[in-house]
């Protein structure tokens, strides 16, 4: 029984992992993000009720680069006061429990591997597509974070006039249509032909990401998550079509593409940091 925490730029969630499920979950809206002391106090208040149960430790997923060995987080996305925070030491001191911290998309990927759709695969790449594009990597059943917790940042690779992320995240729809991906999804459902064409173009760009992952890691499975992945039916056909020019067609045949289904998978993956 472990506590899993998922920190976002707007909300923080926490819950207890028990038997592969999240129980006694809680969620808070993050306020006063300019203040380090205030945001840390909110985090402690979120976690504290769960420490009353016989938990072994706390795992925390954070949208940032993490010094995994020291438990320090840097430049946390959308929390300006978290430029460099020794989060592990702070939380361990507060609750006298072991604490493990990692990137949020790494936690998403670990959750899918330990408890979700990717349990039967030894090598997996998880992708969270939303405000940005993040990736997590499982190699030989182990989470691979890299030397600076920066492994899997496929979205930062140069692409066209910018980087891959800007073509495979919410910004793509803002630039192309002047609306966010949620609105674009709703318009596609209504049958808007221009928007549907934009989703097809999005699928082609996503196909470039998939090919990059295959050339780099050659995993057994790729798991798509994040808010934009819910629009799969509008981008998947063009994504698959774009994979036909991949240099190693047998790799495409063997690849399994999965769509994440469990809304608590990142919490489960954070809790699993205790066991990895």
- Residue 110: what pLDDT? 97
Beta-bridge partner residues of 143: 138
Phi and psi dihedrals of 247, rounded to 5?
-65, -25
Structure tokens at 237: 């056909």
Mean pLDDT for 162-170 is 95
> CB within 8 A of 187, min separation 6: which ones?
179, 195
Cβ neighbours, 10 Å, residue 98? 15
| 234-274 tens-digit pLDDT | 999 999 999 999 999 999 999 999 999 999 999 999 999 98
Mean pLDDT for 198-221 is 96
Residue 55 reports pLDDT greater than 80: yes
Residues 56 and 98: beta-carbon distance below 8 Å:
yes
- Residue 78: what pLDDT? 85
Residue 16: band (very low, low, confident or very high) from pLDDT cuts 50, 70, 90: very high
Mean pLDDT for 67-85 is 92
> CB within 8 A of 177, min separation 6: which ones?
183, 184, 194, 195, 198
Residue 148 reports pLDDT greater than 90: no
Structure tokens at 180: 């966010």
Distance (Å, whole) CA 201 – CA 198: 5
Domains of the chain, earliest start first:
2-103 (3.30.420.40), 118-259 (3.30.420.40)
Q: What percent of the chain has pLDDT over 70?
A: 100
| 110-143 tens-digit pLDDT | 999 999 999 999 999 999 999 889 999 999 999 9
- Residue 152: what pLDDT? 87
Residue 10: band (very low, low, confident or very high) from pLDDT cuts 50, 70, 90: confident
3-state SS string for the chain: CEEEEEECCCEEEEEEEECCEEEEEEEEECCCCCCHHHHHHHHHHHHHHHHHCCCCCEEEEECCEEECCCCEEECCCCCCCCCEECHHHHHHHHHCCCEEEEEHHHHHHHHHHHHCCCCCCCCEEEEEECCCEEEEEEECCEEECCCCCCCCCHHHCEECCEEHHHHCCHHHHHHHHCCCHHHHHHHHHHCCHHHHHHHHHHHHHHHHHHHHHHHHCCCCEEEEECHHHHHHHHHHHHHHHHHHHCCCHHHHHHCEEEECCCCCHHHHHHHHCCCC
Q: CB-side exposure of 251: number of CA atoms within 13 Å?
A: 17
Residue 26 reports pLDDT greater than 70: yes
Distance (Å, whole) CA 75 – CA 192: 39
Distance (Å, whole) CA 89 – CA 94: 9
- Residue 276: what pLDDT? 62
- Residue 24: what pLDDT? 87
């Amino acid at each position: 029984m472990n506590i899993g925490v998922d920190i976002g730029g707007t909300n923080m969630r926490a819950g207890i992992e028990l038997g592969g499920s999240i129980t006694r979950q809680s969620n808070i809206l993050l306020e006063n993000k300019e203040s380090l002391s205030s945001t840390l106090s909110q985090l402690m208040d979120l976690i504290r009720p769960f420490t009353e149960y016989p938990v072994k430790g706390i795992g925390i997923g954070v949208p940032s680069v993490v010094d995994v060995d020291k438990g320090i987080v840097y430049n946390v996305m959308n929390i300006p006061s978290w430029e460099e925070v020794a989060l592990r030491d702070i939380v361990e001191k507060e609750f006298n429990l072991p604490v493990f911290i990692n990137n949020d998309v790494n936690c998403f990927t670990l959750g899918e591997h330990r408890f979700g759709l990717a349990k039967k695969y030894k090598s997996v790449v998880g992708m969270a597509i939303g405000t940005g594009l993040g990736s997590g990597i499982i190699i030989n059943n182990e989470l691979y974070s890299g030397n600076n917790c920066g492994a899997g940042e496929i979205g930062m690779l140069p692409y066209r006039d910018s980087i891959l992320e800007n073509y495979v995240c919410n910004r793509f729809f803002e630039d192309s249509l002047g609306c966010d991906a949620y609105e674009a999804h709703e318009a596609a459902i209504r049958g808007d032909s221009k928007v549907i064409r934009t989703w097809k173009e999005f699928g082609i760009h996503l196909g470039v990401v998939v090919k990059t992952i295959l050339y780099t890691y050659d995993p057994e499975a790729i798991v798509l998550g994040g808010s934009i992945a819910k629009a799969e039916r509008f981008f998947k056909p063009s994504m698959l079509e774009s994979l036909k020019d991949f240099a190693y067609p047998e790799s495409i045949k063997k690849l399994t593409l999965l769509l994440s289904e469990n809304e608590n998978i990142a919490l489960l993956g954070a809790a699993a940091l205790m066991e990895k």
